[in-house]
Structure 1
Amino acid sequence: MTGPPRSVPAPDPHTLVRAHTVYSCVMGSRAFGLDTAASDTDRRGVFVAPSELFWRFDKPPTHVDGPAEEQFSWELERFCTLGLRANPTVLECLHSPLVEYADGTGRELLGLRGAFLSRHAHRTFTGYVDGQHRKIEARVRRGAPPGKPAMHLLRLQLALLDLLRTGTLTLDVGEHRDELLAIRHDETSWAQVEKRLRTLRATSEAAAARTPLPAEPDVRRIEDFLVRVRRTSASGPAPDSAPDSGPDSGSGRRPDRS
């Protein structure tokens, strides 16, 4: 009599990232145009867990730290869910100017960048700014300089204003680089930073009233994409969906501010 089938162990999270990454990019100061000689290289990515792993009681991870230092990846469904909620980190990941790797699925995901954008970004970006503002205030009360957190706080407020005005999310800070680096190096007082934030907040509120962004993201397009990816995974890779090269090969644009 044949016993029950033996369960095959699921691959460890780092193996999932290594074998199933569809998109990876550089984020952080290098993507924002704020890097210096001492800047780290932060990498973010998206992997697609094989569909058969979802048939188990023990589901694949929604996100993975590593395997490299300063590397973080989301499973595709989690990434799309957060993007539809206008999560600032995920939206910025989709718009990084420093794409290191994208296979066919990754390129299609990038082609959907605009479908994730909506007026919800005003609420989520503002909520994140408010939360970070409170943390920095507590930091300043303890006698610590606001420094890098204050720089990124103002950077995000500037990015939101530009997004609301143009309907496009741009990461590079451009002409604001010197202003932001002065904040990072504590050459600008926290009182001055707060004054600048209040001005930008008021301007953003006005821009939100006439933004070209749609009221809602295009959920149907993104869900159709996710379902097709899951079906392809369940039936085996399609001939034209093979990756151009592995995520460690450095294909695509490389960071050039080091």
Structure 2
Amino acid sequence: MRASGERRPPVHVLLSGIVGSTAYGLAHAGSDIDRLGLFAAPTVDFHGLHRPSESHVTTAPDRTLHEAGKWCRLALSCNPTASELVWLPDELYEVRTPLGDELIAVRRSFLSARAVRNSYLGYATQQFRKLSTRDPDDPVSRVRSAKHARHLVRLVEQGLALHETGEVAVRLADPERVRALGERYAARPADAAALLATAEERFDRPGVLPEAPDERPAEAWLRRVRAVHLEAAA
């Protein structure tokens, strides 16, 4: 039997915003609006037999919320999707609390060279594998291939920018170029191999990020979250 608290929807959302294609500048008329956020579970919920749910996902609307502790672990691994939450343009935030602002202020402490390379280049390589197994002559498959290819290009460009500048550039500088490359790679998947090879070479060069993240700001922030939310939700 699961504790009733695990089924309770999150009520203490600390930070939330619009992510995905809208944030990247790749949205079109039929694009879904994706939302990502983080919430604080009541601290007392961690003291019983059953831990609270760490993620809540809905499809109407499309929204993913991670519990504060889980989000910190994802961000310390430089997960591209989770990390972008604290690097969004200001106008894309829909919930922004003081604790959310504190997290944005320490966002650089989550970054590390190895994790950025592993996550961004790793996810880009996954997109390449998906791209390579689809039939470019099938119209339905071609649409999906173009999406995989756009993600591949985006992940490579964002990862390299992060490696070389220490900044997460959520909004792409040239979305039309990314769309064009997506169509090209969807038609000729093998062409994307050169992009990945170049990315590996650039990741091999020294960047600006430390070898390991500084976990102290995340630990201090999370302890403040737990102290603020010590009592169970009414």
Structure with more helix by fraction? 2
Task: Please give the range of the TM-score, normalised by the shorter of the 2 chains.
Answer: 0.7 to 0.9
Partner of 1:182: 180
Contact 2:16 2:95 in 1 (8 A): yes
Partner of 1:110: 104
Separation in structure 2 between the aligned mates of residue 151 and residue 86 of structure 1, nearest angstrom = 20
With over 3 angstroms needed to count, the CA separation of the structure-2 counterparts of 1:210 and 1:12, relative to structure 1, is same
Are 1:101 and 2:100 an aligned pair? no
Q: Offset of 1:201 from its aligned partner?
A: 3.7
Contact 2:55 2:64 in 1 (8 A): yes
Q: How does 1:1-258 map to 2 (within 5 A)?
A: 9-10=4-5, 12-14=7-9, 16=10, 19-66=11-58, 68-97=60-89, 98-119=92-113, 120-140=115-135, 143=138, 144-145=141-142, 146-175=145-174, 177-184=175-182, 186=183, 188-190=184-186, 194-196=190-192, 198-199=194-195, 201-234=197-230
Contact 2:78 2:111 in 1 (8 A): yes
Separation in structure 2 between the aligned mates of residue 141 and residue 30 of structure 1, nearest angstrom = 26
With over 3 angstroms needed to count, the CA separation of the structure-2 counterparts of 1:208 and 1:112, relative to structure 1, is farther
With over 3 angstroms needed to count, the CA separation of the structure-2 counterparts of 1:160 and 1:218, relative to structure 1, is same
- Higher deviation after alignment, 139-148 or 209-218: 139-148
What number of residue pairs does the alignment pair up? 224
With over 3 angstroms needed to count, the CA separation of the structure-2 counterparts of 1:131 and 1:196, relative to structure 1, is closer
SS of the counterpart of 1:43?
strand
| Alignment-mate amino acid for residue 129 of structure 2 | R
Q: CA RMSD in A?
A: 2.4
TM-score of the superposed pair, with normalisation by structure 2: 0.86
Q: Offset of 1:94 from its aligned partner?
A: 2.0
Unaligned runs of 5+ in 2: none
With over 3 angstroms needed to count, the CA separation of the structure-2 counterparts of 1:191 and 1:41, relative to structure 1, is closer
Separation in structure 1 between the aligned mates of residue 232 and residue 51 of structure 2, nearest angstrom = 19
| Alignment-mate amino acid for residue 122 of structure 2 | G
SS of the counterpart of 2:64?
strand
Separation in structure 2 between the aligned mates of residue 104 and residue 90 of structure 1, nearest angstrom = 19
With over 3 angstroms needed to count, the CA separation of the structure-2 counterparts of 1:24 and 1:197, relative to structure 1, is farther
- Higher deviation after alignment, 24-33 or 121-130: 121-130
With over 3 angstroms needed to count, the CA separation of the structure-2 counterparts of 1:113 and 1:125, relative to structure 1, is same
Unaligned runs of 5+ in 1: 1-7, 238-258
| Alignment-mate amino acid for residue 216 of structure 1 | A
Deviations 1:193-248 (A, max 9, x none): 643552354245335422111111111111111112112221699xxxxxxxxxxx
Separation in structure 1 between the aligned mates of residue 199 and residue 119 of structure 2, nearest angstrom = 17
Deviations 1:9-68 (A, max 9, x none): 426342x2xx21000010011100111222211000000001011111121101001274
Separation in structure 1 between the aligned mates of residue 165 and residue 189 of structure 2, nearest angstrom = 24
Q: Offset of 1:155 from its aligned partner?
A: 1.0
Contact 2:131 2:148 in 1 (8 A): yes
Partner of 1:245: none
Contact 1:22 1:103 in 2 (8 A): yes
Deviations 1:100-144 (A, max 9, x none): 111111111111211111102011111111122112211237842
- Higher deviation after alignment, 141-150 or 155-164: 141-150
